[in-house]
Amino acid sequence: MIISVASGKGGTGKTTVATSLALSWGEGLFLDCDVEEPNAHIFLKPHINERISVGIPVPEVDESKCNFCGKCAEVCEYNAIVVIKKKVLFFPELCHGCGGCSYICPEKAIREVDRAIGVIEKGRSGNIEFIHGVLNVGEPMAPPLIRQVKKHINTSTNGIIDASPGTSCPVVEAVNGSDFCLLVTEPTPFGLHDLKLAVEMVRKLTIPCGVVINCADIGDEEVARYCENEGIPILMTVPWDRRIAEAYSRGIPLIDVLPEFQNSFSQLSAAIERLGRG
């Protein structure tokens, strides 16, 4: 079973929950798909033993073959190519690497070359197999890297995917295809607002979901009320506790500082087993 951990709002405790869930298993696969700011490695401290460069195919125009017909610019959904009288201008950061321009070029003047967007790092943390993607600084194209990270999923191993906050393309890419999505939120108006967006997203993706409320003893009751009305199970609560925040700031996982949470995470896993698909 593959469990994705998402949140809507940022900073609610996705990585705190995802890493401690992995440590409570002590085995399985951990994929940090928050490739813009991966941070699970700070808590899991894996020994990295492999680095793979990841790129996307981008066009390279041979202007000696080009007749400047402009068909490549027309077909580009992201307006990454502009053809002016005797020149083809290409904007690599707008290109999604779909290959449409080289396919449509009647003069066969476009070939595809690799543009590096980031790296995948693989390693182990005890018996946990750890993989994360690290997007190059300033690079806007996260989904192709996330796709490559997710290629390491195999059906025989249970796995956890740590997604980025929000509900945009990188999150959809990370969460899509998982058997269960754990939504980590906080009991505040902001937490609730973004939780609703995240719930809408996972429902569109037809992924069963449940909620973890972090800092559960502050804020208000609105998140709990919303979950009840929507029939979304609240699978775990984490109290507001200074010890958790202090440990977090030192890269110490929740489950290490509060070992009594081993039991909560075991119950969480059992509940997900019941509710997840497949």
Residue numbers at the binding site for other proteins (CB under 8 A): 73, 76-80, 82-85, 87, 89, 91, 94
When the beta carbons of 88 and 236 are compared against other proteins, the nearer one is: 88
CB of 200 to other proteins, least distance (A): 19
Nearer CB in complex with other proteins: 95/213: 95
Backbone dihedral region of 235: left (phi > 0), alpha (psi from -120 to 50 degrees) or beta? Answer: alpha
Nearer to other proteins, 84 or 197 (CB): 84
CB of residue 79 to other proteins, shortest distance in Å: 3
* Shortest reach from residue 175's CB to other proteins, in Å: 20
State the DSSP string of 201-253: HHHHTT--EEEEEESTTSS-SHHHHHHHHHT--EEEEE---HHHHHHHHTT--
Cβ-contact 45, 52 below 8 angstroms: no
Which of residues 68 and 240 has its CB atom nearest to other proteins in the complex? 68
Q: Please tell me whether residue 124 adopts helix, strand or coil conformation.
A: strand
CB-based contacts of 195: which residues, under 8 Å, 6+ apart?
A: 7, 8, 9, 183, 185, 211, 223, 226
Beta carbon nearer to other proteins, 66 or 131? 66
Shortest reach from residue 83's CB to other proteins, in Å: 7
Q: What minimum distance in Å lies between the beta carbon of 80 and other proteins?
A: 6
Sequential DSSP letters for 7-36? -BSTTSSHHHHHHHHHHHHTSEEEEE--TT
Report the interhelical angle of 261-275 vs 14-25 (nearest 10°).
90
